[in-house]
Structure 1
């Protein structure tokens, strides 16, 4: 048998066929596979196979292996199965693969051939394979364009959603919104960590305020509180660039950090960081800190990654600035501008909360109303500026002798109210007496004249409220009544449930 068919009647003369084949852009071939599928060769293959791939046609006429060796390893995994299927079904064989060109580069080719069963059970295919590299490049470009369009649309949708959440956030919910932003950005970009750091005013320490970690990634936030960075000279230089030029810090590979960043490299390596972005966050024209993302393994970042993260940092900056403004406005409404203490507007709902906790858990607390004795006389005789200084200094004494868990408020004029939490009646009396002693010992100076002041106090404990409902108004009314009893008793004394007490 001669699979090439050259001896059959009506066959084209070999020279004419070769000339026709040379005019075809691709490679014409006939491919033969034995019945047991162990032997294969090309009875005919046009000369372009050598021009294009550097494979000798004469070699292929004895063994087809060298043609299969130019197929890209990733594209040749199932070629044997596809040939076997075509041989068994006698369906046309169509296959696409990258072939190694004579210059070593790979280009896409597509093979089309029709099988024909031979009398001995072997199979002979007639066909050609032609270059489709341009179409594959176009296909890849379209696929990348589609993917990029999808990415950009997804990013815009994400930014719109986060912007809406920040616009609608209520006071006190900023932390939840930041956590959601970090989570969303972390998942969208496929990073391992996303976080927010705040600098100290002198930029010599920083604190991790918010953090998101991908599943299985170690959290770092607990160990990143008030971290002293004064000795990290390379990082300090980057902070200056953030401050002076609003520059994004990009570390593509921690292992490639310069020698002067030795300390920074050690810290980042201990954290497991391979690469990272840090984008400055601004509030009212001041560098507040930075928003960042980490990758724990080497990765290829988008070229516009810094620009995209700047958009996110802009969202964060705007939300934080708005929240800071709302905090300032709230503080102005619930704080006394002279002393900085909370006022009645804050005190009443706070007392409601304390009472609610007391009712649920039985927590004890006491309330004391302080009044500066003869304060009107100070204003009239020494002037309101001196009176203001007395109020400010008395506030300092109160804060020095109370705990952070206690509530200290200016109730009005020269009256101050302190809620002592988790104390008994005996504890409260000792605390009040200590404050009274500190006030009596304090010396005030006005126009080279030294003078002292005293205070009168009315106090009560929530445990006394057994008959009437315990409300903020009822508590304050009882403390106020006892305050007036103290003033009627000659001032500079305390009146509580046990009666009148003096130093």
Structure 2
């Protein structure tokens, strides 16, 4: 920085001259004008006269032109102009040091970042004589700092992403079902890709459809489609469209988008599904491209594939251990676990739980009339019907032999009878076959106990429901009987087919 007091000694002497004339007439000032490697500028007290050295003329390309304040203003970046002028006006009016960073047009038409500093100067008599200052081109230094900052930001982002993926893996490893993974995956995906909507898909068990497991953001994608609709699943490798005209969009997109990224999830050579990401405008109008997310999504997809494959395997093994192989209903052990759980929940929330004991009427006749396996066909048909008819929260179990048990949480006792009669009537309408032979009408008797009205424990409720079933059998079968006052006499009498 050229010191103001040194300059003012040179400028405060002699007859009135323009600033340029004074620089030209004084050997020391002329040396500064011609050789100083930074931009030097001056203005007088009323800003009617301006001086810029040769370096400024070389920088701007305005060699040989008369310098004016408007010329400098015209070279300022439009976005910076108002702030620069206001800042300089304030400093000038208060006679204070002025510093500012701004963009100035170079002779090649590009804008360079400048650091500018000006100080008030005074003549030999101590009167305010104007400002003297210098400007330094800091574009390269600024770009280097930005690159370093970008590298630090990228490293910080990678570390943050790695930490989030590690947390997600820890959480997924304790999930028992694929359904439990959905909210977890959505949470972590939203945090890992806050600016990009997307979804995770799994291929269903029959391998016929690719179905959405979870979605975050507003992704324009179908919830289910065939493998042929996704280029990544067809090819078994990444498919990316990073802008209009850069590739062919997949058919599973419900709406055309500019950019999309599909990554197949593969575990132990088996294609489980795929992850999908789209580009969307940011708040500042920019777009976080899918290309910038590619490496992260690939790494994430590998981890998801391993976790989801493991969960699916554990889920399949658990299903085999808790399902009756003939009816596909839950077995007796799972029934007891579920009943205890639902009763505990009902106690906390003060809800009703229905326990329904059911029995196929005249079950032995099917084996005697149509063969030994006809009874199995009846039970399998009823099991299939119940699995597709009951509510999601209802639990249908095979209690033993031809007896089935229904656990129905959060029921309304006033409407439960209508629901159970509807089930009973629809079972009677089933067209069941064995070895291409119609098995005739199948009817069932149902005995009902309700928590907490008819019992407080699983054992009590099962006994009361079984007693109600006995009453239904004795009353003529093919009916629903709720536990009532007569149960006390009936509980000790074993019922027969």
**Are 1:252 and 2:243 an aligned pair?**
yes
Contact persistence 1:114–1:127 (CA under 8 A): yes
Contact persistence 2:241–2:249 (CA under 8 A): no
**Are 1:469 and 2:455 an aligned pair?**
yes
TM-score relative to the length of structure 1: 0.70
Shift of 1:333: 1.6
1:355/1:294 Cα in 2 relative to 1: closer, same or farther (>3 Å)? same
Contact persistence 2:447–2:467 (CA under 8 A): no
SS in 2 for 1:268: coil
Shift of 1:247: 0.8
Question: In structure 1, how many angstroms separate the alpha carbons of the residues matched to 2:82 and 2:64?
Answer: 24
Question: In structure 2, how many angstroms separate the alpha carbons of the residues matched to 1:464 and 1:78?
Answer: 74
Partner of 2:4: none
Partner of 1:46: 53
**Are 1:18 and 2:27 an aligned pair?**
no
Question: In structure 1, how many angstroms separate the alpha carbons of the residues matched to 2:232 and 2:374?
Answer: 47
Alignment of 1:271-286 (within 5 A): 273-282=257-266, 285-286=270-271
Write the deviation string for residues 305-363 of structure 1: whole angstroms up to 9, x where unpaired.
11111222233323322321221122122112354332111222344467679985557
Equivalent of 1:323 in 311, 315, 321: 311
Partner of 2:199: 195
1:137/1:335 Cα in 2 relative to 1: closer, same or farther (>3 Å)? same
Partner of 2:404: 417
Question: In structure 1, how many angstroms separate the alpha carbons of the residues matched to 2:240 and 2:213?
Answer: 19
1:443/1:245 Cα in 2 relative to 1: closer, same or farther (>3 Å)? closer
SS in 1 for 2:14: coil
Contact persistence 2:43–2:50 (CA under 8 A): yes
Q: Which moved more, 1:119-128 or 1:317-326?
A: 119-128
Contact persistence 1:72–1:97 (CA under 8 A): yes
Contact persistence 1:186–1:293 (CA under 8 A): no
Question: In structure 1, how many angstroms separate the alpha carbons of the residues matched to 2:164 and 2:339?
Answer: 41
Alignment of 1:438-453 (within 5 A): none
Contact persistence 1:27–1:46 (CA under 8 A): yes
Shift of 1:401: 5.6
Contact persistence 1:458–1:481 (CA under 8 A): no
Write the deviation string for residues 90-140 of structure 1: whole angstroms up to 9, x where unpaired.
444444333322222333333444422357966333343343333223222
Question: In structure 2, how many angstroms separate the alpha carbons of the residues matched to 1:354 and 1:48?
Answer: 84
SS in 1 for 2:241: strand
Unpaired runs of at least 5, structure 2: 1-8, 16-21, 409-414
1:476/1:429 Cα in 2 relative to 1: closer, same or farther (>3 Å)? farther
Shift of 1:54: 1.5
Partner of 1:163: 169
SS in 2 for 1:30: strand
1:391/1:6 Cα in 2 relative to 1: closer, same or farther (>3 Å)? farther
Alignment of 1:285-300 (within 5 A): 285-296=270-281, 299-300=287-288
Partner of 2:6: none
1:475/1:58 Cα in 2 relative to 1: closer, same or farther (>3 Å)? closer
Question: In structure 2, how many angstroms separate the alpha carbons of the residues matched to 1:11 and 1:452?
Answer: 116
1:408/1:432 Cα in 2 relative to 1: closer, same or farther (>3 Å)? farther
Partner of 1:369: 359
**Are 1:84 and 2:96 an aligned pair?**
no
Equivalent of 2:324 in 336, 342, 352: 336
Question: In structure 1, how many angstroms separate the alpha carbons of the residues matched to 2:250 and 2:311?
Answer: 38
Write the deviation string for residues 239-289 of structure 1: whole angstroms up to 9, x where unpaired.
243343321433534xx577x769878x415xxx55443333346612424
Partner of 2:390: 404
1:353/1:11 Cα in 2 relative to 1: closer, same or farther (>3 Å)? closer
CA RMSD between the two structures:
5.1
Question: In structure 2, how many angstroms separate the alpha carbons of the residues matched to 1:274 and 1:464?
Answer: 57
Question: In structure 2, how many angstroms separate the alpha carbons of the residues matched to 1:264 and 1:442?
Answer: 40
Q: Which moved more, 1:295-304 or 1:173-182?
A: 295-304
Question: In structure 1, how many angstroms separate the alpha carbons of the residues matched to 2:430 and 2:107?
Answer: 96
Question: In structure 2, how many angstroms separate the alpha carbons of the residues matched to 1:408 and 1:212?
Answer: 34
Contact persistence 2:327–2:381 (CA under 8 A): no
Write the deviation string for residues 178-230 of structure 1: whole angstroms up to 9, x where unpaired.
2322332343xx33x343334556877554442333xxxx6879xx544x569
Alignment of 1:229-248 (within 5 A): 236=228, 239-248=230-239
SS in 2 for 1:309: helix
Write the deviation string for residues 442-475 of structure 1: whole angstroms up to 9, x where unpaired.
5559xxxx99899998752227997x73644345
Contact persistence 1:199–1:206 (CA under 8 A): yes
1:18/1:333 Cα in 2 relative to 1: closer, same or farther (>3 Å)? same
1:116/1:57 Cα in 2 relative to 1: closer, same or farther (>3 Å)? farther
Contact persistence 1:54–1:101 (CA under 8 A): yes
Contact persistence 1:369–1:459 (CA under 8 A): yes
Equivalent of 1:27 in 29, 32, 39: 39
Equivalent of 2:296 in 279, 283, 308: 308
SS in 1 for 2:85: helix
SS in 2 for 1:162: helix
Partner of 1:393: 377
Shift of 1:88: 4.0
